[in-house]
Structures are given as structure tokens and as C-alpha cells.
Structure 1
Amino acid sequence: MERKQLIREIDEMTDTYCEGCLVKQSLTKERSKTNAHRFCITQCSIGLRIQRMGEVMMQDSKKG
């Protein structure tokens, strides 16, 4: 997949799902911003998908 397309998809997902996420807001209030971020990158399905897309971009940049 083309790098620009991946970036557009990541932006769209963060705009759609991450902006105003109630889970992240709740975790930030109850615990901390760091704890909320940890949830996003280890348990959130959207966060995990974004990570996989980032890994694809990294692999593509190493090839070319």
C-alpha cells in the first residue's frame, strides 16, 4: 500500500475514532494521560490497527 494512502487512512481513523474517545478521556481523568496512552497502544483495536499500518510504512521505507 502506498505511504500517502496509509497516512490518509491513519488520519481518518484518528479523526473518526480517537478524537473525543470516551475511554481515553475516562482513563486520563481516573488514572493519568500515560495510562490512557498505554491502553490505546496495547488494547484498543483502533490503536493496534494504526500500529500495524505504521509497521507496514516502516518496512516499506527500509526496502526502498
Structure 2
Amino acid sequence: MERKQYIREMDELTDTYCEGCLVKQTLTKERSKTNAHRFCITECSIGLTIQKIGEAFMQQHKKG
């Protein structure tokens, strides 16, 4: 997969699911922005999917 495809896929997920996410908004208001971000990168299925795409990109990038 090309670099642009990885970025496009991550952007699409972010635009579709993360923009206006009520869970993130609520956690930001009730706790903090840092806590909301931590939730997104450790527990949210979309955040975990984005991480997997990023890891796949990095593995391909290391190979050349």
C-alpha cells in the first residue's frame, strides 16, 4: 500500500468516527484532554485501528 493510501485510510476513520465523538467530548469536560486522548489510544476501537494502520505503514517504510 502506498503512503497516501495509509494516510487516506486514517483520515477517513478520523473524519467518520472521531470528529464530534461524544465519548471524547465528555471525557474532556469531565476529566481532561489528556485523559480523553489516553482513552482514544488505549481503549477506543477506532483509535486502535488507526494505530494498527500506522504500525503497518512504519513496517513497510522500514523495509524500503
Interval containing the TM-score (normalised by the shorter chain): over 0.9
User: Aligned equivalents of 2:33 and 2:27: distance in 1?
Assistant: 7
Sequence identity percentage: 81
Q: Say yes or no: does 1:21 pair with 2:17.
A: no
CA RMSD of aligned residues (A): 0.6
TM-score relative to the length of structure 1: 0.96
Equivalent AA in structure 2 for residue 17 of structure 1? Y
Number of paired residues? 64
TM-score relative to the length of structure 2: 0.96
User: Aligned equivalents of 2:12 and 2:43: distance in 1?
Assistant: 20
- The structure with higher relative contact order (CA 8 Å, sep 6+) is 2
The residue number in structure 2 matching 1:43 is 43
Gaps of 5+ in 2: none
Kindly report structure 1 stretches of 4+ aligned residues shifted beyond 6 Å.
none
The residue number in structure 1 matching 2:63 is 63
Gaps of 5+ in 1: none
